[in-house]
Amino acid sequence: MIIGIVRESFPGERRVALIPASVPALTKAGFEVLVEPGAGAPAGYPDESYQQKGASLAGSRDEVFSRADVLFHVLGFGANPEAGRDDLPRYRPEQVVFGFLRPLGAPEAVAELARTGVTAFSIELLPRITRAQRMDALSSMSTVAGYKAVLMAADALPRMFPMLMTAAGTISPARVLVVGVGVAGLQAIATAKRLGAVVSAYDIRPAVKEQVQSLGARFVELPLETTQAEDVGGYARAQGEEFYRKQRELMARAVAESDVVITTANVPGRKAPVLITGEMVAGMNPGSVIVDMAAERGGNCALTRAGQTVSVHGVTILGAVNLASLVPFHASQMYSSNLTTLLLHMARDGRLNIDTDDEITRETLVARGGEVVHPRVLEALG
């Protein structure tokens, strides 16, 4: 079987779905890899490096679509509904497609993709079980994004992060607050610590307190009561508006005392909770920075504009979107490793064995035989 790698078409996207280092594992398992010219260039992987590892170079994008049995995308159609539309007529019914497809955010796009007849796997739906950890691209991308968010904050901040004792006086360290301590939040804490900031963090799930402390940060205790902060999957549960109102009130002081606030709070399948109001922003010192990593889901800050940087009351608010794409070399390396592991999990003698008795296969399979087949996507379609 031929695995096709095409250049990503989402505007500004720099990642590539497979890097040269992953090619030998696939060829050893009996697959061939066919790459569109220039596919890896924006991420720092030239065409020759693919060929050196045993991949072939196609003459064009059309050639990859017409010859490949399997297509690897980073942002597939649902996650790239405008530019990705150009590829819809190129898919062939017997093809298998892997990528981020935004199946619950854009279920209609998945339905449209299904109508091309392809078999599609959505990487976001990978079950977060121990066995699937090496395939967990969502965690990989959150790790990269959490790191980048801190660098962006440091860049926008008119202060330095570390404490310095110099002949010209003492520089006080930046105070960083991380709200939401999932995968991205943990990496944001670690990165801010490495840069020398004094870091504190809050999450609605009390279980993360130990993880925050083990990174050398302070866990902000808020006297908020919830018996059901976490679901069985380890995700936060949605709370009522009264809870969020109280949380904002209690968090206001921690926000006002911070030079940088990184927000990552999400509740699966919901709009992100608003945890920072305009009034709270007004209470921050001029020059402070908020990086809102929940921007794509509506934002944790009421003033956030997704994909934009706004300045209000002297506070810079970055509506961070698609941050992993801004560190394309390593984001691609991690994604490529995740996807290769997923494909090899399904591979038998150089072919794909789609066994829906297997949890990983069943949970990621969204389209087959011209139809949407995933119950959660069908439910989202209504």
Q: Which of 273, 299, 319, 328 is close enough to bind ligand NAD by CB under 6 A?
A: 273
Can residue 55 be called a binding residue for ligand NAD (CB under 6 A)?
A: no
Residue 174 contacts by C-beta under 8 Å, 6 or more apart in sequence?
Answer: 154, 157, 159, 160, 161, 192, 195, 196, 197, 198, 259, 260
Dihedral angle sign, alpha carbons of residues 48, 142, 71, 131 = positive
Query: Is 266 or 304 the residue whose CB approaches ligand NAD more closely?
Result: 266
- Window 68-87: contact mask with ligand NAD (x via CB under 6 A): --------------------
* Token pair recorded at residue 148: 């980048």
Q: Toward ligand NAD, which CB reaches closer, 20 or 185?
A: 185
Active site residue 133: yes
Q: Which of 93, 234, 278, 286 binds ligand NAD (CB under 6 A)?
A: 234
50: annotated active-site residue? no
* CA nearest neighbour of 5 among 83, 49, 43, 57: 57
Residue 193 in tokens = 């610590």
Cβ neighbours of residue 87 under 8 Å, at least 6 residues apart? 6, 9, 65, 77
3 is a contact residue toward ligand NAD (CB under 6 A): no
CB–CB of 57/35 below 8 Å?
A: yes
Tell the smallest beta-carbon distance from residue 52 to ligand NAD (Å). 33
> Which sign does the torsion angle of CA 34, 40, 41, 46 carry?
negative
Verify whether residue 235 is a known catalytic residue.
yes
Selected range binding ligand NAD among 82-90, 136-144, 252-260, 351-359, rule: CB under 6 A: 136-144
CB-based closest residue to ligand NAD: 182
Q: Which of residues 101-120 bind ligand NAD (CB under 6 A)?
A: none
- Contact status: 128 vs ligand NAD (CB under 6 A): yes
Is 189 near ligand NAD (CB under 6 A)? no
Told to check if 46 binds ligand NAD by CB under 6 A, we report no
Among 150, 156, 254, 267, binds ligand NAD (CB under 6 A): 267
Is residue 288 exposed (0-12), middle (13-18) or buried (19+ Cβ within 10 Å)? buried
Q: CB under 8 Å to 23, separation ≥6 — which residues?
A: 33, 50, 53, 54, 55
Count the Cβ atoms, other than its own, within 10 Å of residue 364.
24
Asked if 182 is part of the footprint of ligand NAD (rule: CB under 6 A), the reply reads yes
**177, 179, 215, 317: which one binds ligand NAD (CB under 6 A):** 179
Tokens at residue 331, please? Answer: 């984001």
Query: Any catalytic annotation for residue 259?
Result: no
Of these residues, 87, 136, 259, 292, which one is catalytic? 136
3-class secondary structure, 235: coil
Structure tokens of 171? 């520089």
- Min. distance of Cβ 229 from ligand NAD in angstroms? 7
CB 307 within 8 A of CB 319: yes
Of 142 and 364, nearer to ligand NAD (C-beta) is: 142
Total of residues contacting ligand NAD (CB under 6 A): 27
Q: Is 2 exposed, middle or buried (0-12, 13-18, 19+ CB in 10 A)?
A: middle
Annotated active-site positions, please? 128, 133, 136, 139, 235
Binding site for ligand NAD (CB under 6 A): 128, 133, 136, 139, 142, 179-185, 202-205, 234-236, 247, 264-268, 273, 275
